[in-house]
Amino acid sequence: MGRLQTKHLDPGYTGTGKTELESLAYSYNIHNQITGINKDYARKTPGKYDKWGSFFGLYLGFENKDGVFTNAQLDGHVTGTLWSTQGDDAQRKYDFSYDNAGRLINALYGEKQNPGDGWSNATMDFSVTGTSGQITYDLNGNLLTMLQQCRRDARLCI
């Protein structure tokens, strides 16, 4: 199909004795849309997750068949994105919603430290909501403004 399946990053400091710094595994859906980079690492898939196996993982959800995100998008829009990094091992995600014209109106942020925990934005919140003019478009549907919330422990980020 001509799609990139795996990318190997040049050797560097690995700390594990591996011959490469990182291996990035790409996954796609039946519509040829990318659904993840080291997806099992991002999702912390039981039996496939290794905390020290990757530095970063990303999962893009579309139809939400696995229930990771709040809504399902059956029109080709991304319903959400989930990522995880080796640094603090927390999972973070955005749940997206769109208006009838297919324009982004909400990107709700959440995170959890452990797989059994619930999603929360009490510690940090980087949500974007369409209320109060935080997201505006022109008549052609082009994005004009988007103000992203930045809150950490009840303080606003500057």
User: What residue type is 102 in one-letter code?
Assistant: G
> What average pLDDT score do residues 84-97 get?
90
Q: Using the predicted structure, report yes or no on whether residue 78 has a pLDDT greater than 90.
A: yes
- Tell me which DSSP letter residue 46 carries: T
60: phi then psi, degrees, rounded to nearest 5: -110, 125
Mean pLDDT value across residues 1-20: 68
Eight-class DSSP state of 39: H
Q: Are 84 and 91 in contact (CB under 8 A)?
A: yes
Q: pLDDT band for 10, please (50, 70, 90 cuts).
A: confident
pLDDT, tens digit, for every residue of 115-138?
A: 788 899 888 888 887 766 688 899
- Report pLDDT for 129: 79
For residues 118 and 31, give the distance between their C-alpha atoms in angstroms, rounded to a whole number: 31
pTM as predicted: 0.80
Please determine, for residue 33, whether its predicted confidence score (pLDDT) is greater than 70. yes
116 CB contacts (<8 Å, ≥6 apart)? Answer: none
Over 70: is that where the pLDDT of 97 sits? yes
